[in-house]
Amino acid sequence: MSDYDVLIIGTGAAGLTAALALADAGKKVAVLAKGKLGGGATEWAQGGIAAVLEDEDSFDNHIGDTIVAGAGLNDPDIVEFVVERAPAAIQRLADLGVPFNLGSDGDWHLTREGGHSHRRIVHVHDATGWAVAQALEKAAVLHDNVTLLPNMVAIDLVQGKHGVEFSTSGSVYGVYGYNRESGEVETLTARATVMAAGGAGRTYQFSTAPRGATGDGIAMAWRAGCRVANMEFMQFHPTCLYNLEVKNFLITEAVRGEGGILRHPETGERFMAKYDERLELAPRDIVARANDAEIKRDGLDYVHLDISHRGPDFVKQHFPNIYEKLIGLGIDITSEPIPVVPAQHYTCGGVVVDKHGRTDAPGLYAAGEVTMSGLHGANRLASNSLLECFVFGEAAADHIIQCWDKLPEPIAIRDWDESRVTDSDEEVVIQQVWGEIRRFMWNFVGIVRTTKRLERARNRIDLLRKEVNDYYGSFRVTPDLIELRNLVEVADLIIRSALSRKESRGLHYTLDYPETAEEAVDTVLVP
């Protein structure tokens, strides 16, 4: 007998959406978070969720904008699948109690973001993710069929084959998890497992992503035999606050959507006109490269983003969270510009899934930022990410429910073996290697790339990979060691993917191949 019917790794938008749909269908579900429940990117989302909700807009417009931003690498079938399900997903969230902002006519208040041809973003002021997370968590806590397991760090997927004693390959039947409270490794089994462990932003020195975005889900699925695709497409957000104390506070794209202007901090020039006719509302990759170019060309620390011309009432009403945060840092955004820099923001690539969230490993599904579903292509359109979490969380749950009778019971699983490892007396190594990876990923695998820089990164990751694997084989696991092992794995996947793309497309921009190839082809890595 398994411990649960379904195990879900991740309590973000994707994980909790799947959990609630499965629980409503009577399945006993356990949902793991490696720290507190809301420790992922979902709580941090600001701008909102994209959906066609006004008469002047259409699914075709949203599909077209997604594919233009994605530089043609998107899977059109999947884009259509997601876009058409967006209005129903928003309604489900509203029914769960998410207090979306409404306009004076009582309809949704829609804001605008880069790359969108229409106002299309439903939001809760400038803290949409927090409101969504509260509603999902509350529903999960109250549901009898959901067991929430915070502080449980998944280490690796449990695999096996019926008829083969203690096999370590084959179908996925759960995970080994490090329980932070007891310090023990537990074996958790289930008939189906959903990987919803979020992205890998913390492979980079500067990132808007939370501390836990170390690519654990991508690395675990890769080690379990799943294909991983399009990892070179790391999205850099153009406007992260530049502040020496607060290193990763996002200034939402909706600030530009509502009229925010980017200016050179010394000359005051509105520089986006030099880069794109859509100015500040060009897709993110273009605006991030423009900011990066201005900063590098003139040796600046940052550029300015100015929304003060919209007046204090408008600014405070639309961006209360940002206003409060920045006033606390001595910046009054109603009367002065905000210093901003680009920073890593989103992982477009990930574990390959089909329309039902199925991965290559039998019994393993995946949803959310951990995946490459085909929605985003070479660059994610703003506010399409939470949407993907809701649509694929639901799709994976539906498929598990439909195929329930065909999913085999877990087999006997070998317990975690610590007989050949000892406690580490060299933990400083972990911090050192972690810092080194994040620095060279930023410098060599960043917004603008060259083959030489990528090769440098590859040489370093080869050395560090060996060092980390030796360390992992010798010492008892700790949460930091688990994350470092995954970080190295994912950095390696990013570098290999970037080296194999011999063109510039979307977020992958290399000076050695500045042109875009005629045919758009995914970078698929096979374990």
Question: Residue numbers of the site for ligand FAD (CB under 6 A)?
Answer: 9-15, 32-35, 39-42, 44-49, 128-129, 152-154, 196-198, 208-209, 212, 216-217, 250, 345-346, 368-370, 383-386, 389
Select 346 or 444, whichever has its Cβ closest to ligand SIN: 346
Rounded to whole angstroms, the Cα distance separating 180 from 153 reads 7
Q: Give the residue from 489, 523, 492 showing the smallest Cα distance to 506.
A: 523
**337 contact choice in ligand FAD, ligand SIN, none (CB below 5 to 8 Å, kind-dependent):** none
Cα separation of 443 and 438, whole Å?
9
Buried b (16+ CB within 10 A) or exposed e, 397-412: bbbbbeebeebeebbe
State the nearest-atom distance from the C-beta of 252 to ligand FAD, in Å.
7
- Toward ligand SIN, which CB reaches closer, 189 or 252? 252
User: Which amino acid would we find at residue 226?
Assistant: C
Q: Is the dihedral of CA 451, 221, 428, 421 positive or negative?
A: negative
Nearest by Cα to 376 from 115, 83, 74: 74
Burial class (CB in 10 A: 0-12, 13-18, 19+), 324: exposed
- Residue 460: active-site member: no
To ligand FAD, the closest distance from the beta carbon of 384 in angstroms equals 6
196 binds, among ligand SIN, ligand FAD, none (CB under 5 to 8 A by kind): ligand FAD
| Contact positions vs ligand SIN (CB under 6 A) | 46-47, 252-254, 346, 382-383, 385
In the sheet with 371-372, reading across from the earlier edge strand, the strands are 371-372, 350-352, 228-229, 524-525
Catalytic entry in 256, 284, 289, 501: 284
Nearer to ligand SIN, 118 or 161 (CB): 118
Residue 445 CB, nearest approach to ligand FAD (Å): 19
The end-to-end CA distance of the chain, in Å, is 31
- When CB distances are held under 5 to 8 angstroms depending on the partner's kind, the choice from ligand FAD, ligand SIN, none that residue 350 binds is none
Residue 115 binding result from ligand SIN, ligand FAD, none, given CB thresholds of 5 to 8 Å by partner type: none
**Please, what is the minimum distance in Å from the beta carbon of residue 119 to ligand SIN?**
15
Residue 149 binds what, of ligand SIN, ligand FAD, none (CB under 5 to 8 Å, by partner type)? none
Q: Tell me whether residue 2 or residue 101 sits nearer to ligand SIN (CB atom).
A: 101
| Least distance CB 219 / ligand FAD (angstroms) | 9
Shortest-Cβ-distance residue relative to ligand SIN? 47
At 305, phi and psi to the nearest 5? -115, 125
CB of 98 to ligand FAD, least distance (A): 13
d(CA 521, CA 4): 39
| Phi then psi dihedrals of residue 131, to 5 deg | -65, -40
Cβ closest to ligand SIN, residue 40 vs residue 174: 40
Active site positions, annotated? 284
